[in-house]
Structures are given as C-alpha cells and as structure tokens.
Amino acid sequence: MAVPVAFFAVFFAWPVAAIVARGLKLDGVWQFGRITDVLAQSDIRHVLWFTTWQALASTALTLLVALPGAYVFARFEFPGKQVLRAAVTVPFVLPTVVVGTAFLALVGRGGLLDDLWGVRLDTTVWAILLAHVFFNYAVVVRTVGGLWGQLDPRQEEAARMLGASRLAAWRTVTLPALAPAVAAAALMVFLFTFTSFGVVQILGGPTFSTLEVEIYRQTSEIFDLPTAAVLTLIQFVAVGGVLALHAWTVRRRETALRLVDASMTARRPRGAGQWALLGGVLVSVVVLLLLPLAVLVQRSLDAPDFAYYRELTSDDSGVFLVAPIEAIGNSLEYALAATVIAVVIGGLAAAALTRRDAGRFVRGFDALLMLPLGVSAVTVGFGFLISLDEPPLDLRSSWILVPLAQALVGVPFVVRTMLPVLRAVDGRLREAAAVLGASPWRVWREVDLPMVRRALLIAAGFAFAVSLGEFGATVFIARPDNPTLPVAVAKLLGRAGDLNYGQAMALSTILMMVCAAALLVLERLRTDRTGEF
C-alpha cells in the first residue's frame, strides 16, 4: 500500500497541486474568488454542459455497440478471433493524431457514408460520438468480455433447468455477476470521453470544446494559469464525484463469483439467431474499426516500391538526428519500463484493496487511483516541470519521466482489470489455505495467481499498449535523439511535402502493427497457459 501511495503522491498529486497553486496563489494568498469569476462566464458554462452531455451520449452509444461484441468475443468460438480481438484494441492505444485523421475517411468528405448516401459528418457532433465508439470499443469488449468469458454458463443453465425463462435466468444469474464489469467499463468510457481531447479538436473542429480542450488552450496557448487552475479543479471534482459513485456501486455488488477457464465457455454459434449476432458484430467491427485503420495502411503504401518505408531508414532528413525507424526501439523500451512500473504499482494497489481488513481510507484509494485518467496531460506535464526540479528528484530532462508518466495512465488499467477478478476470488479459499499452513506469499501464488493470471496478462497488455501510443505526456519530455513513435509521427505530420506525409503514414502503420502484435502475443500467451488447469 505504501508504494502506490508514495508513487501517486510524488508523480501525480504533488505536480498537479503545484501547477494549480501557481495559478490560484497570488503573492502567497489563495485567490478562491477566481473560481466564481470563471464559473460566471457563459462560455465556460457552455463548455461544461457540452462536455457532460457528449460524454453521456458517447458512453451510451459505446455500450450499445460494444456489449454485443463483448458477448460474441466471450461466448463464441470462431476463426480469427484472437487476431480480431487484438485488432479492435488497436484504435484505443493509438494516438488521436494518427487515427483521428484516418477516421475522417469513414465519416468525412469522400468517405464511405459520403459515397453511399452523400452524408458527411465531419465537424458535427456525430463525428465525435462515433469516434468515441471507435476508440473505446475495446474497453468494453476487454473489460466486460474478460469476465463474461469466465462466468460459468452452467449456473445460468441450472436456473433454466429450474424453470426460469431465458431472460429471467440471464437477469438474475448473469447480469448481477456481470454488473461490476459493465459499470467499470462504462465508467472508463465516460472518463475517456469526458476528458476527450484529440477527437474533439480534430474531428469536431474548433467550434466544439470540452473541458480538457479548454484547459489545454488556457495552459499552453493563452497562458492563463488561473483560469486553467479553476478548470482543472472543476474537472477534478467532476471526475472525483463519478469515481466515488462508481466505487460505491461496485462495493455494493461485490459477490464471490464462480470463475472457470474461458476456453470452456466459448463454443461455435448455433442457430440462425446466434450466427446473425456474430455476423452483425463482425460487420460493425469491420466498418467502424478496421476500415479507418485500413485507410492508414493504404496511404502508407501509396508510393512505388515502398518509398515511404525506405525513406524511414535514412538519417539525413533533417527532421531528426536519427533515422525515424529508430523510434520503434525507443517506444518499445519506454513502453516496457512503463508496463513494469504499472503492473508493480497497480498490482500492489489491487492486492491491498482486496484485503478484507482494508479500511475506509484504503478503499477510497481505489477511486483516487483512477484520477490520473481524468486529469489533463498538459496539467501533469506542466506540473512535472515546476515540482520535480530539485535534487534528488530533478527528473525534468531524464528519460525515466516518460515511462513514469505513461505508467500513471497505465496503473488505473491494471487496478481496474485486476480488482473485479481479485474481489471475485472466494475469501474462504485463502483462509483454507492459510489454515492449512500456507504462507501469505504461497496463498497468493497458489490461490490468487492462478485465478487472476488472465486478468494480470490483460492488464499488462493494456498498460503496454497504452504506453506505446501515449502521446500527451511523451511530447513533454522526448528529446530529438530518441523520439517515440507517436512523437515522430506528429513531427512528420507537421511538415509540408509528400515524403514527410508518407513517412508519417508508414510510421503510423508500423506503430499499429507493433501494437497489434504485442496484443496478439498476449492473447496467445493466455491460451497456452490456461491449458495447465
């Protein structure tokens, strides 16, 4: 417990507090009057309203589209399932600067909708909502599907046997077991869409503004730190409120679940209805998720003899001091370090949160851990600059800041993925093991670990992939001699000329492939291991 608390205090709470204090303190006196001043502006109130309703709408839409997907991935066996599950996660981990523009190929000028029906959604709120589904589909599929696949279908079958209708059986047996995972997924989607930045800027255009966009603008363009500080506090309160509510509902629904190996529960679809469901989900995945990704690949190949890819290996382009291709190695190293940090910190936190004697304070920490997801990268980045600037923690130009910042975003994923499963482990199993003389370490290794291994791998996979695509924090500290992939892409996109654009597309494609490969490896790792028990 002490380690995660210290980690968050030093690398999150302190930097954010420092930058907020810089904005709200004048000559050492707090200026709380600023809060009401800012809230009185009609622009700001408009931003608040838009931020909230678009997040609610996006969450609802994402659940609507992705829950059938979660069911299909959990319960059906079909060829190419692993590849597809890895592929749907790719948009989530890629930076918006890369995929946002590709998404325009679906909803914008000359896109699929334009070709078929002459409908153009770019610079409308629909583009924002659909893009949020595109980016967050995987959150629902992985979070809900992960648990759904491990629910023992025999329980539902038993209920049917005892005379319950199909709906009643689902409602009374499966739904209550699934609810915490659905709540967790919905909460994550809400968080991501509430704090949406790139999607709103790129697809919505400058007429739409969320709280996050406004904080970025006030901090980094207008340099109005007081206003930015007030907006940060507002976002903090809003996000904190949602998180507290969530923690409360999850605790109320905690029950020990009977978990089984996922490979036992999935089977080939039977009957027209199930085939239609599978078909529908596959079509929606192809159109909504894979098509925009395919556009990236196609644009990267749109030159003779892989010219864009060959150009990546030359180091005299002037844009970087090294060949852009080396960004791949940099990204992998950073992401690996970030994953290790996130899994250690997140794992310790999740274990501490599961303990039965965990007090009120500890359980409140559950919600606190999620806060970094709801705080603007620009706030944290600027905060780092003014708080981590004295020895022994002068990390401002150190490479470690990159994985640390990435881990900050990764830890909540680890905790959120592990916690529902860890909590579902029947405490009596641990007690029985302890009574029989097992040390706590052995209890963890032989009781908890086998049951949560899958969740642990999913968590690590997420943390790794999120770190790979992380852009906000990386951009603050990267140096020209070791840019990460997203930073290199952004830099190339910022320059005129065919070869620059083409290289950006080629690097994006590589980033996409690396992410997909990493996710696929985890998928395979999982099925190999589960054969053991």
Range 337-396, binding another protein (CB under 8 A): 344-345, 348, 378, 382, 385-386, 389-396
Candidates 105, 181, 288, 373: give the one binding another protein (CB under 8 A): 105
Residue 17 sits in the site that holds another protein (CB under 8 A)? no
- 3-state secondary structure (DSSP) of residue 171: helix
231: contact with another protein by CB under 8 A? no
By the rule CB under 8 A, 313 interacts with another protein: no
Handedness of CA 462, 441, 448, 368 (dihedral sign): negative
Question: 97 or 415, CB closer to another protein?
Answer: 97
Region 159-188 residues binding another protein, contact defined as CB under 8 A: none
Instruction: Please report whether residue 27 would count as binding another protein according to CB under 8 A.
Output: no
Q: Which are the contacts of 18, defined by CB distance < 8 A and separation ≥ 6?
A: 383, 386, 387
Instruction: Give dist(CA 139, CA 508) in Å, integer.
Output: 21
Q: Which is nearer to another protein, 294 or 393 (CB)?
A: 393
Task: Specify the residue, 392 or 531, whose C-beta has the smaller distance to another protein.
Answer: 392
Q: Which stretch in 104-112, 153-161, 324-332, 462-470 sits in contact with another protein by CB under 8 A?
A: 104-112
Which residue in 27, 316, 528, 532 binds another protein (CB under 8 A)?
316
Which residue's CB is nearer to another protein, number 34 or number 396?
396
174 DSSP 8-state letter:
I
Report the alpha-carbon distance of residue 137 to residue 126 in Å, rounded: 16
Residue 195 to residue 52: CA distance in whole angstroms? 10
Q: Using CB under 8 A, pick the residue from 196, 232, 417, 500 that binds another protein.
A: 500
| Smaller CB separation from another protein, 181 or 507 | 507
Kindly state the number of chain residues that form the binding site for another protein, as judged by CB under 8 A. 76
- Cβ closest to another protein, residue 403 vs residue 469: 403
CA-to-CA dists, residue 223 to 51, 229, 350, 463, angstroms:
22, 11, 38, 32
Are the beta carbons of 482 and 397 closer than 8 angstroms?
no
Asked whether 15 and 390 are in contact (CB, 8 A), the reply is no
Residues 286-305 that bind another protein (CB under 8 A): 299, 302-303
If you search the block for the tokens 């960004």, which residue do you land on?
327
b/e sequence 27-54, b meaning 16+ C-beta within 10 Å: eeeeeeebbeebeeeeebeebbebbeeb
Footprint (CB under 8 A) of another protein, residues 437-476: 439-441, 475-476
Residue 37 binding another protein, by CB under 8 A? no
